[in-house]
Amino acid sequence: MTIRYPIFKNFKCRFYSTSSDLKAVLKTVIPKKLRLFEHVKKDLSSHQIDIQTVGSVIGGMRGNKAMFWDASSVDPNKGVTFHGLSIEECQDILPKSKMELNDPKSELLPESMLWFLLTGCIPSQEQIDDFSKTLAEHAQLPEYVNKVLDSLPKSLHPMTQLSIAISLLNNESVFAKAYERGIPKDEAWEYVFEDVINLISKLPAIVGKIYSNTYYNGKELGVINKDKDWSYNLSSLIGFTVDDSINHKNLSRSQSKDFVNLVRLYCALHGDHEGGNVSAHATHLVGSSLSDPYLSYSAGIQGLAGPLHGLAAQEVVRFILEMKDTLDGEVDNDAKIEEYLWKRLNSKRVIPGYGHGVLRKPDPRFTAIIKFGNNRPEEFAKDRNFQLVKKLSQIAPGVLAKHGKTKNPFPNVDSSSGILFYHYGLKETLFFTVIFGASRSLGPLSQLIWDRIYGLPIERPTSMDLKTLASL
Ligand code: CMX
């Protein structure tokens, strides 16, 4: 087996395994990483990284390098890289669906991204074909989860439903049960691994159940197909299936395929964005107390449900639709767009989809999603929402810069994605962040496995009161 890509700058995947068992592959990677970690812990623990400021203590720890996160990093000017690879490189080399190998428009699979994030190894096509099957085989939800979801009021926000469903699965946790029995610390990761794969396998079914209950009176919109990938199944369960006989969205076959590929791209790209964002950080923090992966990720979902984080995905679409109405469809009218933006800023509201805690340039995930639309010129030619999103990305940065508050006036990922889902007929805006929630599982839950492999301690920073700060 040839390795197609060097993975870590100083850490090539020399222990590459052809096994289709992800856990077995992970086991081949662990010893070398542990040696590196032990070196850092033993020899570099007293090494000073940053000088902390009072501004960071009262300013959301901004710029404070206080977390350990391995699979992805975010450069303020270049955006996210996954084990050092850019989005384009990942799109190039991570395996796609076995059914669409010759289709140039087919996108990388989120399960390929998960494999890569967790092991740092580029999986082969065969490994991913088998892994997709494994995920589909574990997709079924326990009946009590279905029952609880069925009993929730339709008015309950889909993100709250998502966090409830994930918390409930704590009943399945092999880690929690093993811990109760008593396990050596260095075995904990193996149980966490089982929980993580089980949870990620079940996310399409949870997402589908929430969608059908909230918007289709509980009608079954699709089924899990064990020969299909994770995103295909997720799409089917919310009514987007490539099989014409049960197509609930009245899309052509090629549009349905597009939608599935949009979900693949979206979920792979949203999978990880280093450790400091609210959803990743919350998952890591709660997991550090040895809460099981279900409880930990449920906390991550609750963080993602905030409008300054993942809920921006829904806010952007509402904002674009509202603006288009106000513009009377004149999505080319720069002056009217500027006026609309100023009105919003002057009423002390944020422009959703713009700004970022770390990025200082347009988000490359935004660019990749826009490229998805641009690559389908006929499909999007008449979509005025898509045109407005693109136009806005040219106008809003200037307005925000003039406004002078935000450190980053450029579009972030949430600026583009929802309007593409909307285009294909996923119009329930409150639901958009649920798909974000399914995708964000990839990175934080991979890191949670590594947290236990490394035996990281409970997270416990120290706080300071105002009197102490004022007397500095
Ligand atoms: N519109 C208007 N004002 C903005 C702004 C925007 N898009 N982005 C930042 N600002 C303002 C902030 O509210 C802040 O104002 P105050 O000083 O009055 O509090 C000021 O500019 C400085 O903020 P910042 O340091 O540039 O940004 P932060 O790191 O504090 O916040 C973020 C980052 C993303 C929360 C912020 O840019 C924002 O609210 N954006 C809009 C919501 C959004 O798109 N969120 C999604 C982010 C991506 C994701 O996590 O999914």
pLDDT digits (tens, 9 = 90+) for 246-295: 677 889 889 999 999 999 999 999 999 999 999 999 999 999 999 999 99
Q: What is the pLDDT of residue 95?
A: 96
C-alpha 133/C-alpha 119 separation (Å) is: 19
Report CA(403)–ligand 1 centroid distance (Å): 12
Report if residue 249 sits inside a domain: no
Report if residue 133 sits inside a domain: no
Q: Tell me: pLDDT of 183 over 60.
A: yes
Report if residue 214 sits inside a domain: no
Count of domains observed in the chain: 1
Report CA(355)–ligand 1 centroid distance (Å): 5
* Coil, strand or helix at 204: helix
Report if residue 325 sits inside a domain: yes
Q: How many residues does this entry show for the chain? A: 472
DSSP label of 418: H
C-alpha 208/C-alpha 238 separation (Å) is: 5
DSSP label of 327: T
Q: What is the pLDDT of residue 127?
A: 95
Report if residue 252 sits inside a domain: no
Q: For 173-193, what is the mean pLDDT?
A: 97
Residue-by-residue DSSP string for 360-417: -S--HHHHHHHHHHHT-HHHHTT-HHHHHHHHHHHHHHHHHHHHT--S--SB-GGGTH
DSSP label of 122: P
Q: What is the pLDDT of residue 242?
A: 78
C-alpha 342/C-alpha 336 separation (Å) is: 10
Q: For 283-310, what is the mean pLDDT?
A: 97
Q: For 126-154, what is the mean pLDDT?
A: 97
Report CA(430)–ligand 1 centroid distance (Å): 21
Report if residue 406 sits inside a domain: yes
DSSP label of 459: P
Q: pLDDT tens digits, residue range 166-179?
A: 999 999 999 999 99
C-alpha 284/C-alpha 281 separation (Å) is: 5
Residue carrying structure tokens 């998502």: 162
Q: Which ligand 1 atom sits closest to the C-alpha of 405? A: 21
Q: What is the pLDDT of residue 246?
A: 67
Q: Tell me: pLDDT of 20 over 70.
A: yes
Asked whether the beta carbons of 357 and 323 are under 8 A apart, the reply is no
Residue 48, both tokens: 């000073």
Asked whether the beta carbons of 380 and 423 are under 8 A apart, the reply is yes
C-alpha 79/C-alpha 223 separation (Å) is: 36
Which range marks the domain in which residue 410 is found? 312-423
Quick check: is 270 catalytic? no
Q: What is the pLDDT of residue 249?
A: 82
CA nearest neighbour of 436 among 285, 239, 266, 260 = 266
pLDDT band at 340 (very low <50, low <70, confident <90, very high): very high
pLDDT band at 432 (very low <50, low <70, confident <90, very high): very high
Q: pLDDT tens digits, residue range 75-121?
A: 999 999 999 999 999 999 999 999 888 899 999 999 999 999 999 99
Q: Tell me: pLDDT of 15 over 50.
A: no
Report CA(308)–ligand 1 centroid distance (Å): 7
Q: Tell me: pLDDT of 7 over 70.
A: no
Q: What is the pLDDT of residue 433?
A: 96
Q: Tell me: pLDDT of 431 over 70.
A: yes
Report if residue 329 sits inside a domain: yes
Residue 407, both tokens: 């450190």
DSSP label of 169: G
pLDDT band at 5 (very low <50, low <70, confident <90, very high): very low
CATH number for 375: 1.10.230.10
* Coil, strand or helix at 154: coil
Residue 409, both tokens: 């006036």
Pocket test for ligand 1, best of 354, 389, 433 (most atoms within 8 A of CB): 354
Q: For 436-449, what is the mean pLDDT?
A: 98
Report if residue 342 sits inside a domain: yes
Residue-by-residue DSSP string for 304-323: HTSTTTTTHHHHHHHHHHHH
C-alpha 248/C-alpha 241 separation (Å) is: 8
Choose the weakest-confidence range: 41-45, 47-51, 408-412: 47-51
C-alpha 448/C-alpha 296 separation (Å) is: 9
Q: Tell me: pLDDT of 13 over 80.
A: no
Ligand 1 site, CB within 6 A: 277, 308-310, 312, 345, 350-357, 405-408, 412, 414
DSSP label of 140: P
Q: What percent of the chain has pLDDT over 90?
A: 89
* CB-CB neighbours of 460 under 10 Å: 8
Look up residue 75 and give its amino acid.
D
C-alpha 175/C-alpha 252 separation (Å) is: 44
C-alpha 94/C-alpha 132 separation (Å) is: 14
Q: pLDDT tens digits, residue range 379-402?
A: 999 999 999 999 999 999 999 999
